[in-house]
Amino acid sequence: MVRWQGTSWRWLPRQVAEGIVSHGNLKKQLFFTLAIIGAVVAEFVAAEEGLGYFIQFSTSFFKIPQAFAGLIFLAAISLLLFKSVQWVQAWWFPWSLPKKKH
């Protein structure tokens, strides 16, 4: 084991892994949420089925409760994917989470 001024280098792989996992999970949280919203926006533009088409069809015929139901469903899916990345991080990489102060 390499020693430099009395410290071992065994901590280095763990520190690097912590940085990669914590930043990677944050990016995944944002990616999943924005990917779902981006897919629905793409369906607004050029689709004949899907959630974006459902919302656009509902608003074009003034079926506002249906449109809000589609938006609430979109928000629920986005939040579920966002939280699922947090659950995976807490389950598989608990050491990458910040320490809770009591």
Angle subtended by helix axes 11-46 and 51-60, to nearest 10: 40
The answer on pLDDT for 98 being more than 90 is no
What pLDDT is recorded for position 72? 95
What pLDDT is recorded for position 99? 73
Q: How far is it, in rounded angstroms, from Cα 48 to Cα 87?
A: 34
Q: How far is it, in rounded angstroms, from Cα 50 to Cα 38?
A: 13
Q: How far is it, in rounded angstroms, from Cα 52 to Cα 74?
A: 9
Q: How far is it, in rounded angstroms, from Cα 52 to Cα 46?
A: 9
Residue 76's pLDDT band, with cuts at 50, 70 and 90, is very high
What are the tens digits of pLDDT across the range 27-68? 777 788 788 888 888 888 888 888 889 999 999 999 999 999
What pTM did the predictor assign?
0.65
The answer on pLDDT for 6 being more than 70 is no
Whether 60 contacts 76, CB under 8 Å? no
What pLDDT is recorded for position 8? 62
Question: Cβ-count burial of 11 within 10 angstroms (0-12 exposed, 13-18 middle, 19+ buried)?
Answer: exposed
Token pair belonging to 17: 């892994």
What pLDDT is recorded for position 1? 47
What pLDDT is recorded for position 20? 65
